[in-house]
Amino acid sequence: MKLNQPVDRLEGKNLLSPEDLLSRCQRAREFEEAGDYEAAVASMGDLWTLVDDIRVLANLDKKTRAEALLRKGVLTGWIGSTRQIGGTQDKAKDLISRSIAIFERLRDSDKIAEAETDLAYCYWREGAFDEARALLDVALSRLPDSEHCQKARIYLRKALLESSASRLNDSLRILIEAVPLFEASGSHALQGKFHNEFAVVLKNLAAAEQRDDYLDRALIEFAAASFHFEQAGHTSYQGCVENNLALLFFKLGKFNEAHEHLDRARRLLFQVHDTVHLAQVNETRACVLLAEDRLDEAERVVRLAVKALEHGGEQSLLAEALTTHGTALARLGKRSRSRAALERAIAIGENSGDLAAAGRARLCLIEELGDGIPVRELASIYQAAADLLESTQDPATRKQYTRCTSKILDALNSELSHPIRAIEARDHGATIAWEGFSFRKEIARYEQFLIQLALRDACGVVSRAAQLLGFKHHQSLISLLNTRHQTLIQARSPIRSRKHSIISTSGKSRRLGNNSSSRGKGTMTEVRCEIN
């Protein structure tokens, strides 16, 4: 066969021209955009298998060869993700990387950027956030301002990445910056993904900043996302929105409404055989059941999620599901199995590059099993978690971190104040400097440390810091600052008037804080719509 001549099948019949092959790739791209991956594969016809044949590829022109490799690589990643097929992300990365090499020889910057964006998504699925972040930055730098849709896709994936890494304010900034791009795109699918991600970020920030208006806006954004996905015919993404609405109602303590949305999500996702998002729905269900103290049901449901995710390459999701499973097992009194699940979550998070997931699993280990772990080991686990979560902006993680800090200090104080434990600690190699020791001074020092930590995580807002510390009234914290810890007064932010929602004054944020207690909380994974 000569270059640019019709390409036959391996049987030597039914000739295909380069134009036909490119047309098939385009049709596959359109089905992929609508979330119908089975139809996308079918539309490629024999090209799906021909791409694997070196002889066929060698006789295709460069543009057709690159397009075929890219389309199969992207679809391999999607299908491997939704069905949780092991090894598919590596295969997808290989195919996409080969397409990038050809586009580079063709000096096609737009196609290089498109392929790099898809490659970054494969890395995101695996939890390799740093690699994904670098690829997205490079892809964005290649595009001119006129490329609205492609730039919007990149911005959306950047926002998703930062939100997954618990950098909520960074994610919000990216989304706001990209609003004009989405408005100009004219794509229902793309606008639906934008509204869904915007809603998720607003919902999470509502808890951190006690903003009724953020919560109201999140409900509006979820409704907009659902409308656009329905217009785009994207059933799977409609299921994602239902899961995220369930999480919102869960945080408000409205468990019946949460279960109703989860039932809808399950029905929608089951229709399209979306295994990975069904697993995330099961994990969300387990979190709600934990809050209702239905421990046996929660453990059974999240075990199903873990089993489904074990077969694929979604390492970040698997780490989160294992953390929720470890929580359920601990509350059932199955401590050894709980610790095994949590330690596995830590290892998967660290190995995949999702350090935030590994850090959260360590905090869960302290909260759920800390009473049976020696103080020195607890301190080591805590320090490792602190290192992993240094840059987190997630309010739930910050609160969990503060609770663990208090637990570690209580355990240390108990160790130092108990003579027998002190002797045991000394016998196991620990040294305690008793000369000049003052129990009251040590307690005051730890108290100052906790207040300083809370003020930092609350960005200096005393009312938020008081909530993190568990005070019923922020005046209690103000009194401590004005009397025992005057050196910390400078860490306060300037006093400002509190903002109120123009939509609601029903006290949603207050309920949000009261009902999302540590007792009922799992890892609560939002289902982010995977972005085409």
Name the helix (H) or strand (E) containing 396: helix 395-417
Burial (Cβ within 10 Å: 0-12, 13-18, ≥19) of residue 428: exposed
Tell me, what's the pLDDT at 146? 82
Q: Evaluate whether 327 touches 368 at the Cβ level (below 8 Å).
A: yes
pLDDT of residue 525: 52
The answer to which of 77-91, 167-181, 228-242, 293-307 has the lowest mean pLDDT is 77-91
pLDDT band at 93 (very low <50, low <70, confident <90, very high): very high
Region 327-345 average pLDDT: 96
Q: What pTM value is reported for the model?
A: 0.62
Asked if residue 307 has pLDDT above 90, the reply is: yes
Q: DSSP of 61-111, one letter per residue?
A: -HHHHHHHHHHHHHHHHHHHHHHT-TTHHHHHHHHHHHHHHHHHHHT-HHH
Q: Which two tokens stand for residue 527?
A: 């289902």
> What's the confidence (pLDDT) of residue 530?
44
Worst-scoring range by mean pLDDT, 18-32, 70-84, 116-130, 477-491?
477-491
Closest among 74, 73, 68, 32 to 51, alpha carbons compared: 68
Res. 13: pLDDT tops 50:
no
pLDDT at 7 over 60: no
Structure tokens at 275: 């295994």
Distances (CA, A) of 113 to 135, 173, 182, 256: 9, 22, 18, 45
Q: Is 92 left (phi over 0), alpha (psi -120 to 50) or beta?
A: alpha
Give mean pLDDT, residues 353-382: 88
Residue 110 scores a pLDDT above 60: yes
What CATH architecture is 1-145? Alpha Horseshoe (1.25)
Mean pLDDT score, 311-315: 78
What is residue 513's predicted lDDT score, i.e. its pLDDT?
41
**pLDDT bracket for residue 497 (50, 70, 90):** very low
Query: What pLDDT does 223 receive?
Result: 92
CB 50 within 8 A of CB 24: no
Least confident span in 29-38, 147-156, 247-256? 29-38
pLDDT band per the 50, 70, 90 thresholds, residue 269: very high
* % residues pLDDT > 90 (the chain): 37
| pLDDT band at residue 434 using 50, 70 and 90 as cut-offs | low
DSSP 8-state class, residue 497: P
Q: Residues 6 or more apart from 122 whose CB is under 8 A from it? A: 77, 89, 92, 93, 96
Give the start-to-end residue ranges of the domains of the chain: 1-145
Q: Give per-residue pLDDT as tens, 200-222.
A: 899 888 876 778 888 889 999 99
**Least confident span in 317-321, 412-416, 431-435, 517-521:** 517-521
